[in-house]
Amino acid sequence: MEEIEIIHSIRKFNRNYVRSIGLLEKTFLNTGYSLTESHILYIVKEHGKTTATDINKVLNLDEGYLSRIIKKLISNSILTKEKSQVDKRVFKISLTEKGIKEQQKLDELSSVSVAGIISHLSLPEQKELAHSFNKIMRLLYEE
Amino acid sequence: MEEIEIIHSIRKFNRNYVRSIGLLEKTFLNTGYSLTESHILYIVKEHGKTTATDINKVLNLDEGYLSRIIKKLISNSILTKEKSQVDKRVFKISLTEKGIKEQQKLDELSSVSVAGIISHLSLPEQKELAHSFNKIMRLLYEE
DNA sequence: TATAAATACTTGATATAGGCAAGTAAATTT
DNA sequence: AAATTTACTTGCCTATATCAAGTATTTATA
């Protein structure tokens, strides 16, 4: 296998995969949240109390855009923020009770959606699939 | 490995991969084309003369949206259309000379971008990577 | 220690992507 | 011949995203 074939394999994957799993659709799994919003909620759950800057270390969004999304999520009682006492430029962001529930719902839906995508495969095949994904993760992000 | 771990592996991949390769960005590799537009041009190149309906068998976009994108690409002299004589509802779409050049440019940029993403890996690692992508493709789309 | 530079976040203006519904014209079914 | 389906278009709208400028606070530097 030559370098050009390697690149073509990856590009072919890119073309097919992203659309097939619906990551380009405007509303994430018909939840009323966008993919980006759901991603933000996931990160806040993972980090516990966090900050816009921290979120953006992962997502790399336009700062203004992120600020607005957070504002919206706060006004919908999904997130809260409190001014940090250590650094008064910073706001600590966390999930509200409602936010926790919503995030869990999104989490569940996302899993169900993935389960659907692999449901036609046998368990051994699903395992092979997961190994392939894990291998890619390792190669691309851990070396 | 249990089912839940399988799903988590895939979801982790989804979270990381799509953003890291820039597939969510509005303009595709700073070319002035969107990912969707560049995708359409790719399909027209592959198919030669084709139709909006045929394109949408691959992309599944909103019909109105697709119609508008094609209109725009025509007005920018990237695509042309001519009424089919066999079925007068249908327009045959193809790349103009300019369109061919633009598509090649996009193609090249896309390959360069992928090459950059895998450039830190050795050739054997790149091969492993490609095999993993191919395996996923086979499992998800060929069974 | 005063000043400059960097960091964290916000706001305004605007572009673009994408979605929904209704509509035209031609072809196919019944 | 009438009803249905297919291929495509248009109008209207919202959400997503981008760019640029601005405020407040903290950190670096001269």
Looking only at the bridges linking them, the beta strands covering B79-83 and A91-95 are unpaired
- B16 closest CB neighbour out of A21, A127, A137: A137
Cα(B97)–Cα(A33) distance, rounded to whole angstroms? 42
Distance CA A96 to C1' D20 in A: 33
- Locate B69 and state its tokens: 């994108």
A140–B117 C-beta distance less than 8 A? yes
- A7 closest CB neighbour out of B14, B114, B141: B114
Distance CA A78 to C1' C9 in A: 19
B126–A3 C-beta distance less than 8 A? yes
Cα(A87)–Cα(A82) distance, rounded to whole angstroms? 11
Chain A positions touching B19 (Cβ under 8 A) are 59-60
| Backbone dihedral angles phi then psi of residue A80, each to the nearest 5 degrees | -130, 160
DSSP secondary structure of A83-138: E-SS-TT-EEEEE-HHHHHHHHHHHHHHHHHHHHHHTTS-HHHHHHHHHHHHHHHH
**pLDDT for A61-89, tens place per residue?**
999 999 999 999 999 999 999 999 999 99
- What is the distance, to the nearest Å, from the Cα of residue A35 to the centroid of all Cα atoms in its chain? 7
Chain B positions touching A136 (Cβ under 8 A) are 13, 17, 129, 132-133
Q: Which nucleotides of C are covered by protein (CB under 7 A)?
A: 7-13, 16-22, 25-28
Cα(B112)–Cα(A20) distance, rounded to whole angstroms? 24
With CA atoms as reference, the chain A residue closest to B107 would be: A11
**pLDDT for B44-71, tens place per residue?**
999 999 999 999 999 999 999 999 999 9
Q: Which nucleotide is nearest to B64 (CA to C1')?
A: D9
**pLDDT for B75-97, tens place per residue?**
999 999 999 999 999 999 999 99
**pLDDT for A84-129, tens place per residue?**
999 999 999 999 999 999 999 999 999 999 999 999 999 999 999 9
With CA atoms as reference, the chain B residue closest to A115 would be: B7
Beta bridge partners of A83: A91
In angstroms and rounded to an integer, the radius of gyration of the C-alpha atoms of chain A is 18
Distances (CA, A) of A98 to A33, A111, B18: 14, 20, 28
Residues with Cβ within 8 Å of A71's Cβ and at least 6 positions away in sequence, in order, are none
